[in-house]
A = this chain, B = another copy of it.
Amino acid sequence: MARFTPPAADAMRERLLDAARDEFASAGLVGGKLERITAAASSNKAQVFHYFGSKEGLFDALVAETVADTFTEVPLDTSDLAAWAGRLSESYQRRPWAPRLATWHRLERADAPLESVATSYADAVAEVEHAQRAGVLPRAFRPAVLLGLVLHTAELWSATAPEYEPLVQAVTPPRRRQVVVDAVTALLGGKG
Q: Is A152 an interface residue (CB 8 A)?
A: yes
Q: Is A68 an interface residue (CB 8 A)?
A: no
Interface residues of A, count at CB 8 A: 53
Contact across chains for B107 and A161 when beta carbons are under 8 A apart: no
Q: Which residues of B contact A108 (CB under 8 A)?
A: 28, 31
Picked from B28, B125, B144, B148, the residue with its CB within 8 Å of the CB of A28 is B28
Chain A 138-167 interface mask (CB, 8 Å, partner B; 1/0): 001110110011011101100111111111
Q: Is A186 an interface residue (CB 8 A)?
A: yes
Given the known interface contacts A31-B30, A122-B167, the answer about A152 and B144 at a Cβ–Cβ threshold of 8 Å is no
Contact across chains for B155 and A105 when beta carbons are under 8 A apart: no
Q: Which residues of B contact A136 (CB under 8 A)?
A: none
* Measured CA separation A156–B30 after assembly (Å): 25
Q: Which residues of B contact A186 (CB under 8 A)?
A: 186-187, 189-190
7 interchain pairs (CB within 8 A)?
Answer: A109-B162, A113-B165, A117-B161, A144-B171, A145-B179, A148-B164, A148-B168
Contact across chains for A145 and B121 when beta carbons are under 8 A apart: no
- Excluding A106-B160, A112-B162, 18 further A-B contacts by CB distance (< 8 Å) are A27-B30, A28-B28, A103-B103, A105-B161, A106-B161, A106-B162, A111-B162, A113-B163, A114-B163, A117-B161, A117-B163, A121-B161, A140-B182, A141-B179, A144-B167, A149-B153, A149-B183, A186-B187
